[in-house]
Chains A and B, each alone.
Chain A
Amino acid sequence: MLPGLVVLLLCQFAGELAVRLTGVPLPGPVAGMLLLVVVLAVRRPAPDAPVLQAADGLLAHLQLLFVPAGVGVVTTLAVFRDQAPAVLGGIVLAWLVGLLLTGWSAAALLNLQRRFGHGRRAAS
């Protein structure tokens, strides 16, 4: 578990340095994640490798890590009171637009890709 955590932290470290030095508008941990995908694809670790165990351990409790940010609601109660319809409507409706737009367009494109793929295979 601990050696795996070190790998995750090193990837984040490299990611943070890379985005800061290049000025790419990407959060450091996301750059670290892309880096780790490449490392894993190249190295192909055993299924019980420490890095995989550490990652699974952290992801099993992903929700815990958002609790402190969510508790920040106590400092922003005034906004919720004064602009309740805009806050709640904005959260739920914008979420719904994002969800449906992504889901429907992805489903349509995947469908198209499958048909196109089949057509090509049938033709050759």
Chain B
Amino acid sequence: MTDRWTETGEWLVSSPLFGVTLTLAAYVGGRLLWQRLGKPAALQPVVVAIVVVAGVLLLFDIDYDDYLIGGSLISFLLGPATVALAVPLYRQLSALRSAALAVPTAIVLGSAGAIVAAVGFVRLLGGDEVLERTMAPKSATTPVALELAALYGGIPPLAAVLTVLTGIVGAVLGPWVMTRARIVDPRARGLAVGTSSHGIGLSRILHDDPVEGAFGGLAMALTALSTSLLMPLLLPLLGLP
């Protein structure tokens, strides 16, 4: 009898059914909770879902790699979802033309500043060189940050986590900080969130305002490009050849 239980347990965690069901259930639960509580910024569904799934894995001693058998089916959709950001962008093409100068300049400044600040603050606060290299690309969206970390001597899975946490900070605090910093133009707000907080920050402002969402999507795409191009230029200047 116990054999059957063990066998069934082993089958379950090595089947994609486990990771997919757990992730979707945790997210739907998190979303329901978020709606019930009046959509508080601090309780983004992604936060609840990560805590619940991570808790289940730790509690039942399940390998992250086993979870990914199903989990990676969900991450796969990040690709088409990134392509889908073309739609809010297309709907706001005319607004975009009014900002032809501001868009590239602000994004290059912001993504360069984020790389330098990531390396600088990690060094200042006693982190090691591998952490500096892993933190550097975290403004780019998750799959890009992962690739860049691998390319320049960081730890890819850690880069994915740092990037997701950065996005969560952006979704939770971004609009509040910008209002206090007197950033009110929806175009500037969208650019700032898209550049600093990629898809997760974007998922919040997509609901807030169509102009913010469109500029955020564009900024996320261009930040991926800008970070990819800036990493090999800035890292040597920061003493990381």
Contacts and interface: CB of A to CB of B under 8 A. Distances in A.
Chains A and B come from one and the same complex: yes
Contacts of A35: 86
Given A72-B64, A106-B191, A97 B114 contact: yes
Interface residues of A, number: 70
A27 B203 contact: no
Interface string B154-170: 01011011111111111
Given A8-B84, A33-B82, A94 B228 contact: no
B121 A89 contact: yes
Interface of A: 5, 8-9, 11-12, 15, 25-30, 32-37, 40-41, 51-52, 54-56, 58-59, 61-76, 79, 83, 85-87, 89-107, 109-110, 113
B188 A85 contact: no
9 closest residue pairs by CB, A with B? A86-B127, A102-B110, A98-B114, A68-B71, A103-B192, A55-B84, A36-B86, A98-B196, A106-B106
7 contacts: A36-B84, A36-B87, A64-B24, A69-B160, A71-B53, A73-B161, A89-B121
A63 B32 CA distance: 14
A74 B67 CA distance: 11
Given A59-B88, A70-B50, A83-B127, A41 B93 contact: yes
A58 B189 contact: no
A103 B160 CA distance: 24
Nearest to B50: A70
A106 B192 contact: yes
Contacts of B127: 83, 85-87, 90
B185 A106 contact: yes
Contacts of A89: 121-122, 124-125
B46 interface: yes
Contact of B165 (A54, A65, A83, A91): A91
Interface in B158-216: 158, 160-171, 174, 177-178, 181-185, 187-189, 191-193, 195-197, 199-200, 202-203, 206
Contacts of A32: 79, 82-83
B109 A71 contact: no
Interface centre among A59, A86, A96, A106 (most CB of B within 10 A): A106
A98 B157 contact: no
Nearest to A84: B125
B186 to A, nearest CB: 10
B150 interface: no
Nearest to A47: B91
A65 B44 contact: no
B196 A99 contact: yes
A121 B115 CA distance: 39
